[in-house]
């Protein structure tokens, strides 16, 4: 009786919420339509226009209703000032929506997204996005061009730094976490940001890993590998998407009716708006599918790009095309409706201004810095640790030689897209170690060389320092501008003369711990055997040095796992764990199988890989029910025991393989993961529940379905090693 009552109350509550939301949505639609009817053609096109920065001319255009959005305007006061022009001086008083690339923090800079994804910690990543939103919103920003949800299977592509790596399942989880973090519970909350999933779509598939380059992939790969992250973002309620620079099989993404209209706005029912990338509509001319900006504008709009970023392609000249029937006015109305809808959802009509006093309290708040430290620690991946040289034994060490161009560098930790991050906020590795070790262990530092220039003049000084030390910590890698947009590299080894310096130092026979800082997987084959340990520290944000020091001395036990494969050589690229088997899978004793004659096919470090200062033992994999209907869940468990002497976290990963399909299937696909904390000696049973629907793929008729048949499931600590079991999906027929 009591429980029935409780149930009814809960039901009534839920219905009230749903009805309330529905009423709000209806109310917004009424307001949008009302406003739309009052707008001139020029005002409509104005809403669809976004410019960067500001000047007197733009201010006049805002006054005339000819700009609907700005990006790259910094500071609460300035944003309020411009907003005031829109709200109080334009005819209809439609507020601006102001955007900025808040990618991994606003002023409190977190690890770059590729690094953060190595934490596999969706809770912490969501929290970091929430903090970024708070800080940016307090500075008058409404909209971030993040998360980047592009799959990257090619480490040459500099923008691999901005995403979650190579896997669609993990990438979808990260997309969800970031959208929920940025957008919070309600877009109308003044301390949240409207998110933007980018770059729609397949931008990471650039040939040769060269930014902006051609993409040519099958519809199956598009749907199974590249689109799921966008779908996850849309399902999480992302308000906007950004159309990409690249073409896909002959059709530029910013003029692509199939991806934008058919899939996004049709199949997925996306009701937010699409903004172009920077002049990506204008670039349709260079792509060679439009003769001028006007034609490019028509193509972009027809495809479903609602707002033109810095392209000057959506103009009043379109009015003549509407008049002569070349362009449907309904396309324009639909775009404007979408933009206005979001502006209402953001609450900009009711609260157009930000309280200028709150930024002071929020920016670089102690809690934000603490979260930056936690995420930085979790992002670190221990790649090698011979003879358990790490953690450093501070009791027995007298002197550490700290060498390398990035050891005391305040710029690289900020990484690509550092927004308002400042060097003065950054803790370097040198500072982090000094903070940690004080007078206990002597640290002698020598830079040794630069990242980019090839001077060897400092080598000898560094070698002299090394001779005085018990152990060498070398901090090397890429400067911040070597990854991110327009920063593709053809050679992925340590840049400049860093490897040479490392080799010279290794000849002293002192143990070397290599701490890497980079925005992408590197090829390390020429240095890997020369060093005793490798700590992958990426670009970790303002707390970089403290996080690295925590790991080096063992105050934090590393738990990060790679989310992008580390190749042995650039020649192996593209290399990713979820590849197909081919008709002749690699067999070392058979020449006529798929492999290189000069290199193994395997990577140096696989997806999902990362060591700990303790060891985890997996045992007893159990599939609860190994005959499943397509409506069932696969329930599978495994015991994981910490068999070492330190407490630690393990990211337990579940992969499946569909053994026989109507089309070929990958050799492995990630379908579950859990971060598990285990004290020394502790064992836990880790259970996964994978809906059979999660095993769907596009069959030979391009139907999204699960095919009955045999599957194997593997659970382990990376994509290569694990315990396996089998199950079947049976059909009811």
Q: Report the catalytic residues.
A: 277
* 241 Cβ contact partners less than 8 Å away, ≥ 6 residues apart: 196, 197, 198, 200, 230, 233, 234, 264, 270, 272, 274, 275
Q: Which is nearer to ligand NOJ, 71 or 713 (CB)?
A: 71
CA distances from 65 to 40, 50, 61, 351 (A): 9, 12, 6, 19
| Cβ pair 111, 541 in contact under 8 A | yes
Structure tokens at 676: 């598990």
* Closest approach of ligand NOJ to the CB of residue 80, in Å: 22
Fill in the DSSP letter of residue 580.
Answer: B
Does residue 198 bind ligand NOJ (CB under 6 A)? yes
Q: Which of 167, 277, 650, 669 binds ligand NOJ (CB under 6 A)?
A: 277
* Closest approach of ligand NOJ to the CB of residue 602, in Å: 33
Whether cis (ω within 30° of 0) applies to the bond prior to 230 is no
CA distances from 314 to 68, 478, 700, 718 (A): 12, 40, 41, 49
The runs of H, that is alpha helices, within 454-494 are: 459-467
Q: Which is nearer to ligand NOJ, 116 or 406 (CB)?
A: 116
* Closest approach of ligand NOJ to the CB of residue 241, in Å: 12
* Closest approach of ligand NOJ to the CB of residue 212, in Å: 9
Does residue 145 bind ligand NOJ (CB under 6 A)? yes
Nearest Cα to Cα of residue 300 among 253, 346, 266, 342: 253
User: What is the pattern of x (binds ligand NOJ, CB under 6 A) and - over residues 515-554?
Assistant: ----------------------------------------
Element (H, E) at 697: strand 697-698
Question: Among all residues, whose Cβ is closest to ligand NOJ?
Answer: 145
Q: How far apart are CA 218 and CA 205, in angstroms?
A: 11
Does residue 101 bind ligand NOJ (CB under 6 A)? yes
Number of CB atoms found within 10 A of residue 152's CB: 30
* 250 Cβ contact partners less than 8 Å away, ≥ 6 residues apart: 216
Q: Which is nearer to ligand NOJ, 318 or 419 (CB)?
A: 419
Nearest Cα to Cα of residue 376 among 602, 142, 173, 559: 559
53: left (phi over 0), alpha (psi -120 to 50) or beta: left
- DSSP lists the bridge partners of residue 512 as 472
CA angle, residues 98, 103, 105, in degrees to nearest 5: 95
Q: Which is nearer to ligand NOJ, 296 or 611 (CB)?
A: 296
* Closest approach of ligand NOJ to the CB of residue 623, in Å: 43
| Cβ pair 174, 164 in contact under 8 A | yes
* 419 Cβ contact partners less than 8 Å away, ≥ 6 residues apart: 100, 101, 102, 103, 104, 105, 106, 107, 109, 136
189: left (phi over 0), alpha (psi -120 to 50) or beta: beta
Q: How far apart are CA 629 and CA 709, in angstroms?
A: 11
| Cβ pair 340, 75 in contact under 8 A | no
50: left (phi over 0), alpha (psi -120 to 50) or beta: beta
Does residue 157 bind ligand NOJ (CB under 6 A)? no
User: What is the pattern of x (binds ligand NOJ, CB under 6 A) and - over residues 227-266?
Assistant: ----------------------------------------
Does residue 707 bind ligand NOJ (CB under 6 A)? no
Does residue 200 bind ligand NOJ (CB under 6 A)? no
* Closest approach of ligand NOJ to the CB of residue 408, in Å: 30
* Closest approach of ligand NOJ to the CB of residue 489, in Å: 18
* Closest approach of ligand NOJ to the CB of residue 132, in Å: 14
* Closest approach of ligand NOJ to the CB of residue 586, in Å: 37
For ligand NOJ, how many residues bind (rule: CB under 6 A)? 6
Q: Tell me the three state secondary structure of residue 699.
A: coil
Structure tokens at 559: 């738990």
* Closest approach of ligand NOJ to the CB of residue 195, in Å: 12
The label of the residue with tokens 């305007």 reads 73
Fill in the DSSP letter of residue 496.
Answer: T
Does residue 153 bind ligand NOJ (CB under 6 A)? no
* Closest approach of ligand NOJ to the CB of residue 246, in Å: 10
* Closest approach of ligand NOJ to the CB of residue 52, in Å: 7
Element (H, E) at 710: strand 709-716
Q: Which of 166, 374, 378, 485 binds ligand NOJ (CB under 6 A)?
A: 485
Q: Which of 58, 106, 143, 278 binds ligand NOJ (CB under 6 A)?
A: 278
| Cβ pair 512, 532 in contact under 8 A | yes
Number of CB atoms found within 10 A of residue 493's CB: 16
| Cβ pair 422, 107 in contact under 8 A | yes
Structure tokens at 721: 């090693």
Based on its alpha-carbon atoms, the radius of gyration of the chain, rounded to whole angstroms, reads: 27
| Cβ pair 678, 648 in contact under 8 A | yes
- DSSP lists the bridge partners of residue 642 as 616
Which residues lie near ligand NOJ (CB under 6 A)? 101, 145, 198, 277-278, 485
């Amino acid at each position: 009786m009591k429980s029935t009552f409780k149930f009814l109350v809960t039901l009534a509550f839920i219905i009230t919420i749903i009805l309330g939301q529905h009423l709000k949505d209806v109310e917004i639609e009424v307001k949008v339509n009302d406003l739309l009817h009052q707008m001139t053609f020029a005002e409509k096109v104005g809403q669809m226009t976004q410019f960067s920065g500001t000047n007197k001319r733009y201010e006049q255009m805002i006054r005339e209703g000819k700009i609907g959005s700005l990006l790259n305007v910094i500071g609460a006061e300035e944003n309020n000032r411009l907003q005031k022009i829109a709200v109080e001086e334009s005819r209809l008083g439609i507020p601006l929506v102001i955007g900025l690339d808040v990618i991994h923090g606003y002023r409190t800079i977190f690890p770059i997204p590729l690094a953060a994804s190595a934490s596999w910690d969706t809770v912490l990543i969501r929290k970091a996005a929430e903090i970024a939103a708070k800080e940016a919103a307090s500075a008058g920003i409404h909209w971030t061009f993040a998360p980047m949800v592009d799959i990257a299977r090619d480490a040459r592509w500099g923008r691999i730094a901005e995403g979650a790596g190579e896997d669609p399942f993990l990438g979808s989880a990260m997309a969800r976490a970031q959208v929920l973090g940025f957008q919070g519970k309600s877009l109308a909350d003044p301390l949240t940001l409207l998110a933007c999933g980018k770059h729609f779509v397949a931008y990471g598939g650039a040939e040769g890993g060269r930014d902006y380059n051609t993409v040519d992939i099958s519809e199956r790969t598009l749907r199974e590998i590249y689109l799921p992250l966008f779908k996850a973002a849309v399902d999480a309620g992302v308000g906007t998407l950004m159309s990409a620079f690249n073409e896909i099989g002959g059709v530029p993404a910013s003029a692509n009716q199939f991806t934008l209209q058919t899939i996004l706005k049709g199949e997925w029912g996306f009701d937010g708006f699409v903004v172009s990338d920077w002049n990506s509509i204008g670039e349709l001319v260079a792509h060679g599918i439009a003769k001028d900006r006007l034609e490019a504008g028509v193509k972009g709009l027809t495809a479903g790009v609602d707002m033109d970023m810095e392209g000057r392609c959506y103009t009043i000249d379109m009015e003549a095309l509407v008049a002569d029937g070349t362009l449907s006015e309904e396309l324009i109305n639909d775009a404007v409706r979408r933009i206005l809808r979001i502006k209402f959802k953001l609450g900009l009509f009711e609260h157009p201004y930000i309280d200028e006093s709150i930024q002071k309290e929020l920016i670089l708040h102690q809690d934000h810095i603490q979260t930056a430290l936690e995420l930085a620690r979790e992002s670190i991946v221990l790649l090698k640790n011979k003879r358990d040289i790490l953690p450093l034994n501070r009791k027995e060490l007298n002197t550490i030689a700290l060498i390398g161009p990035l050891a005391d560098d305040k710029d690289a930790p900020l990484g690509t897209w550092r927004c308002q991050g400042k060097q003065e906020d950054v803790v370097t590795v040198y500072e982090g170690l000094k903070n940690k070790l004080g007078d206990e262990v002597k640290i002698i530092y020598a830079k040794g060389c630069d990242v980019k220039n090839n001077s060897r003049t400092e080598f000898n000084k560094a070698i002299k320092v090394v001779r005085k030390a018990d152990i060498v910590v070398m901090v090397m890698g890429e400067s911040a501008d070597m990854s991110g947009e327009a920063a593709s590299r053809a050679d992925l080894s340590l840049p400049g003369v860093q490897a040479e310096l490392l080799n010279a130092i290794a000849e002293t026979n002192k143990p070397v711990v290599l701490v890497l800082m980079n925005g992408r997987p590197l090829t390390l084959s020429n240095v890997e055997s020369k060093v005793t340990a490798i700590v992958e520290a990426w670009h970790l944000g303002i707390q970089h040095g403290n996080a690295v020091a925590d790991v080096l001395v063992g105050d934090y036990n590393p738990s990060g796992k790679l989310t992008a494969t580390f190749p042995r050589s650039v020649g192996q690229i593209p290399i990713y764990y979820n590849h197909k088997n081919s008709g002749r899978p690699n067999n070392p004793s058979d020449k006529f199988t798929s492999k290189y004659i000069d290199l193994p096919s395997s990577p140096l470090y696989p997806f999902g890989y990362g060591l700990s200062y303790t060891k985890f033992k997996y045992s007893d994999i159990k599939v609860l029910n190994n005959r499943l209907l397509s409506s069932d869940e696969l329930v599978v468990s495994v015991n994981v025991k910490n068999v070492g002497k330190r407490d630690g976290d393990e990211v337990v990963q579940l992969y499946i393989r569909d053994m026989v399909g109507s089309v070929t299937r990958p050799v492995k696909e990630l379908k579950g993961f859990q971060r598990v904390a285990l004290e020394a000696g502790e064992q836990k049973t880790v259970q996964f529940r994978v809906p059979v629907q999660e095993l769907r793929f596009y069959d030979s008729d391009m139907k999204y379905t699960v095919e009955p048949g045999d599957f194997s499931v593997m659970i382990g600590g990376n994509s290569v090693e694990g315990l396996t079991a089998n199950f079947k999906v049976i059909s009811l027929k």
